[in-house]
Structure 1
Amino acid sequence: MQRSNAWQPSATLAVLRERAALLARIRTFFAHREVLEVDTPVLAHYGVTDVHLTNLRTHISGEPTPYFLQTSPEYAMKRLLAAGSGSIYQLGKVFRDDETSSRHNPEFTLLEWYRVGFTAAQLMDEISQLLQETVAAPPAQKVGYQELMIQQLGVDPLADDAVPRLQQALSERPELTDLVSKEQDRDTLLDIAMAMVIEPALDPAMPTFVTDYPASQAALAQLNAEDPRTAHRFELFYGGLELANGYQELTDAAEQQQRFQQDRLRRQHLQRDDAVADPRLLAALEQGLPDCAGVALGFDRLLMIHLGSPRISTVLPFAIDRA
């Protein structure tokens, strides 16, 4: 009888050794900076309201309400920050009910950290240092979201007439015509533009921070006082991948609750399942979140870039099809 080889690891043993070495280098990086490693639950009472994310759910015997596998340790880490933890980081598993592809696995490892007293600019500098020290990346560059859109599409994403201009500019690309011809939601059009036009045009050899995202796309970030149409949110692109997403963190509980409600209304508009805002996070914000900046960085994708691996399955011990 011929047996299946699905029992075998997705990654080679050599890659698993590289994986362990990179984990060790990251931990050394934070140990030298006296940033505390923490370990928060991956199973919790609440999920996220973000319209772009969906929590996997499960039930515990005898309990009627579902539990949620976490898409990020953010909420629990912010509760630790409010409790006085100081700067913290976490390397752990997260889960997203999303597509499976060459760059997506439903279960993956996330590196997330928060630096008390840091600005978003200071955190970007530290991320660049992390990449240089752990995977020998070149120093990162920064470019504004608005500037990129104007350069690549000739459209100001913050202008009042952004929707028709985005429709026109994107429709000129045959592969996008059907996708955008009837789309009226500005953020959806901007997401298409970023994924299909902007991101592919970035130099894969150069780590690039895209900064100052539109306020409507930064639910957990502080608004920019100099231009409240934008927020202190950034994303890092490297090696042809979206690698990290970070904020100057919002600390106002009332404002955060309002943004969660906006998420729920947008979910309703898009005909997606409702999601209850996490009251424990809001209670922590009411207690007082210190001024801080935070970022989530995909560890598996960082290893892909470091090893030149085109598929996430090749850097995981067991990808979803072998789990």
Structure 2
Amino acid sequence: MAASCWRPGVDPAILRLRAELLARIRAFFATRGVLEVDTPALSVAAIGDPHLASFATVYSGPGSRYGRTLYLHTSPEFPMKRLLAAGSGCIYQIARVFRDGEAGRLHNPEFTLLEWYRVGFDHRRLMDEVTELATELLGGRVSLAEPERLSYRAAFQHHLDLDPHRATVAELAVCAERFGVPIPPGMPADETDPWLDLLLTHRIEPRLGVGRLTFLYDYPASQAALARLRPGDPPVGERFELYLDGIELANGFHELGDAGEQRRRFEAENAARRARGLPEMPLDEHLLAALAAGLPDCAGVALGFDRLAMLAAGKQSLAEVLTFPFERA
């Protein structure tokens, strides 16, 4: 097996395309005065999101951290926010990130993430810049019409004729059955978010971004993650996701700067992990201290570079644009 898998999974044309895209990304940010940074891939803390799994390793060298568990980051977000709090100004990073349990047509356990933060931007202004970058990188290869902006509520109302902010679990379950969505075992009877995610991934996402960029924005407050909440009836998270041809490309936020609220959300994530029988993750106290010191008003976004390269190349899977996909690593 090893004798047949030593070769890369792509031809030189894909290598040149990836290099071209990376060069154009750097040129894009250079003209806007956004600084490229580099942060550690290992941390004593880890993401607590129950939907993500971190790779863990144990440090065995000299020093005070001997024998301590370290985690490979799923995103460079936390150390980048520490830089922002320290006065870095607008920054971006092209990082290798790692997520356990993710492999398939659109997933690889190790992948490349483009992440950037714009001081003084909110999520709407950042959507404008994401549009500019995506059009710059894909416009010559993909025919893009005028971008679409669709609220989370409007998407559910249009495609499923229900209000995601008001629907009950029973109503969401009936909707799933009506559209023939396969219901996994163990779906909760008292949480709407898993049902909303199920309907979103099976019935709405495949219809987003058909021939044009589509931004889904204003997520339920329970799905705000690291985003600010905007008061209203109901309150919503100032968050967006970008889709093209049914594929999620980016996830962005008007960033939460309240250290106390962020700690509460981290603790709630660990409570959710306990309820699901998952191990708790250590909180990033460095990030919380940075937020307490003062994060500037900013918006940030993470864009999957490999998915972008896949679309630019007209391919159907990440394995076709990764130099050495997971099976060949």
Matched AA of 2:126: L
> Per the alignment, in what secondary structure is the counterpart of residue 118 of structure 2?
strand
Q: Structure 1 residue 121 and structure 2 residue 124: aligned?
A: yes
SS at match of 1:140: strand
Per-residue CA shift, 1:259-304, capped at 9, x if unaligned? 1111111111222111121100000000000000000000000011
The residue aligned with 1:262 is 268
Alpha-carbon RMSD: 1.6
Using a 3 Å threshold, how does the CA distance of structure 1 residues 126 and 7 change in structure 2: closer, same or farther? Answer: same
Match runs of 1:1-323 below 5 Å: 4-62=3-61, 63-136=66-139, 138=144, 139-159=146-166, 161-177=167-183, 183-227=189-233, 229-323=235-329
State the shift of 1:110 in Å.
0.1
Q: Which runs of 4+ in 1 moved over 6 A?
A: none
Question: Residues of 2 paired with 1:33 and 1:88: CA distance?
Answer: 10
Contact 2:207 2:245 (C-alpha < 8 Å) held by counterparts = no
From the superposition, tell whether residues 104 and 221 of structure 1 become closer, same or farther in structure 2 (CA, over 3 Å): same
Measure the CA separation in 2 of the matches of 1:42 and 1:60: 13
Q: Deviations over 1:33-67 (max 9, x none)?
A: 00000011111111111111111001111522210
Residue correspondences, number: 321
User: Which blocks of at least 5 consecutive residues in structure 1 are unaligned?
Assistant: none
| C-alpha deviation, 1:225, in angstroms | 2.5
Unmatched runs of 5 consecutive residues or more in structure 2: none
SS at match of 1:4: helix
CA distance in 2, matches of 1:280, 1:230: 27
Quick one: percent identity of the two aligned structures?
47
Distance in 1 (alpha carbons) for counterparts of 2:44 and 2:188: 38
| 2-structure distance, mates of 1:182, 1:117 | 39
Residue-by-residue CA offset, 1:175-234 (whole Å, 9 max, x unaligned): 425658765421100110111111012243211000000010112000013345311011
Given that 2:93 and 2:114 are in contact with CA atoms closer than 8 Å, whether structure 1 keeps it comes out as yes
User: Following TM superposition, by how much is the alpha carbon of 1:99 offset from its aligned partner in structure 2, in angstroms?
Assistant: 2.5
After superposition, the Cα gap between the structure-2 partners of 1:182 and 1:74, relative to the gap in structure 1 and judged at 3 Å, is closer
* CA 1:194–1:243: 2 relative to 1, 3 Å: same
What is the TM-score with the length of structure 1 in the denominator? Answer: 0.95
TM-score w.r.t. the length of structure 2 is: 0.94
2:237 is paired with a residue whose SS is: coil
Higher strand share: 2
Residues 165, 234 of structure 2: 8 Å contact kept: no
Aligned residue identity for 1:250:
L
Give the letter aligned to residue 69 of structure 2. Answer: P
